[in-house]
Structure 1
């Protein structure tokens, strides 16, 4: 089963693509992103590695309505529709939070977990983080999407990515984002995943950047301390977007883990 696909779920249609034969590495992108954000990393992975990437609900080519939803429920529906019994998961930032939530909720479906600069469901964000988010959201709600995109582009998370050779890719992705989640995102409220990290049932590779923002660094510290089987690699001189900033190194670690 290869090529482009769609999966209908309640209130949305998930669009994605699958390459190779066998069980895939399933990739989940970050906030304001889409499945094409993985292009640089996928180009660095072995050509024969089976992968599946998709646009999370409301992003890219996965349209949705305004009903309440769960990214984890969507991912479960995708696994079932694609006949995936059990597979490794790779999640970036927001997608890392989704991947972790899915692994905690459906451990029998996840063989290994790779998190890059992850968020976490139910996290209490710092006042600084909330202020940055409000500045983006306020511009979007006022109808100035160009300003919202510019403020997101200038977010401290992307400081080192803006200075990297992948800066144009990041800028293009942000400019292509429609911004609906900055205005309203009807995700279902969940209990904090921090309280059940100790139950994580599969090996976890945790990839972080030395110069990532404080909230994401703290989330990684908590995951490392609480989860039972964690190997953390903290990239010196790197920031949040490791799949862009350190694609070759990240690809090598993923390959060694999933082969």
Structure 2
């Protein structure tokens, strides 16, 4: 299945940059950022399965394989991969499963399998589950907007993110209902990631106001990936590209251009 995606016009032989969205969003979360990168890069932003315009069919899949197939479809040999939260986890899985396709990683508050959730993350997960079990999708949407967007995010940003999260819940809950009725549902493959074997330049970015869990994940990745750098943004919560897109554009341009002054918050 080909992922729905935006493919900004290729600037000649410009290097490719792949933007992978967070699990509370879809590819539209990159709208405030992507246009500011296209003068220097070939920018691709897909919707992963169950998000945005990409369906969630009842079959086995790995997000990393879906992304590699998209790069094949677009004729892209390799890309710098920018992943936010869940998209950061997919970026790491792509690097582990298809290492030749990734030349650089920028991970914004990434997720990672195998790291035990902290108390605050468990509380959010339990509250979300309780709301969804009770049929309160709007309550679950509000919970995630409050949890994952910093206080400085604009009202329009909050409304846009709420629309993305609401749609994702609808698609994913419908897939769950179909699986209960038919016995056939989506079957995501768990991809092992050996951080010590990642061999591309890696920048890990965390937010000082994010959940403790994601801050610990960022520290763990930065400690374990050889040569990785870690920057904590003092103003950021979980989604800095939506909270202060201009600051994230600057950070990405510096990182992706290999600027010697890179990573200054």
- CA-CA distance at 1:87 after TM superposition: 1.1
Q: What is residue 40 of structure 1 aligned with on the other side?
A: 32
Contact 1:92 1:117 in 2 (8 A): yes
1:214 aligns with 2:216: no
Correspondent of 1:163 among 146, 152, 166 = 152
Distance 1:140 1:241, change over 3 A: same
Distance, in Å, in 1 between the alignment partners of 2:198 and 2:57 is 32
The DSSP-based 3-state class of the residue aligned with 1:14 is coil
- The 5-angstrom pairing of residues 19-168 of structure 1 reads 19-21=8-10, 22=13, 23-45=15-37, 47-155=39-147, 157-158=148-149, 160=150, 162-165=151-154, 167-168=155-156
Q: What is residue 180 of structure 2 aligned with on the other side?
A: none
Deviation digits for residues 102-145 of structure 1, max 9, x if unmatched?
11222211111111111113332234323311321332233221
Distance, in Å, in 1 between the alignment partners of 2:21 and 2:211 is 18
Deviation digits for residues 192-241 of structure 1, max 9, x if unmatched?
x3xx1111110011111122110000001101111112122211132111
Further displaced range: 112-121 or 238-247: 238-247
Q: What is residue 18 of structure 1 aligned with on the other side?
A: 7
Distance 1:170 1:43, change over 3 A: farther
Structure 1 runs of 4+ aligned residues shifted over 3 Å read: 43-48, 180-186
| Structure 2: unaligned runs, 5 residues or longer | 177-185, 258-265
Further displaced range: 180-189 or 201-210: 180-189
Distance 1:142 1:186, change over 3 A: farther
- CA-CA distance at 1:243 after TM superposition: 0.7
The normalised TM-score by structure 1 is: 0.84
Distance, in Å, in 1 between the alignment partners of 2:23 and 2:3 is 16
Distance, in Å, in 2 between the alignment partners of 1:18 and 1:227 is 30
| Structure 1: unaligned runs, 5 residues or longer | 1-8
Contact 1:153 1:174 in 2 (8 A): yes
Contact 1:197 1:223 in 2 (8 A): yes
Distance 1:223 1:84, change over 3 A: same
1:188 aligns with 2:222: no
Q: What is residue 6 of structure 1 aligned with on the other side?
A: none
Two-structure CA RMSD over aligned residues (Å): 2.1
The normalised TM-score by structure 2 is: 0.83
- CA-CA distance at 1:51 after TM superposition: 0.3
Contact 2:120 2:212 in 1 (8 A): no
Q: What is residue 248 of structure 1 aligned with on the other side?
A: 246
Contact 1:85 1:109 in 2 (8 A): yes
Distance 1:182 1:204, change over 3 A: farther
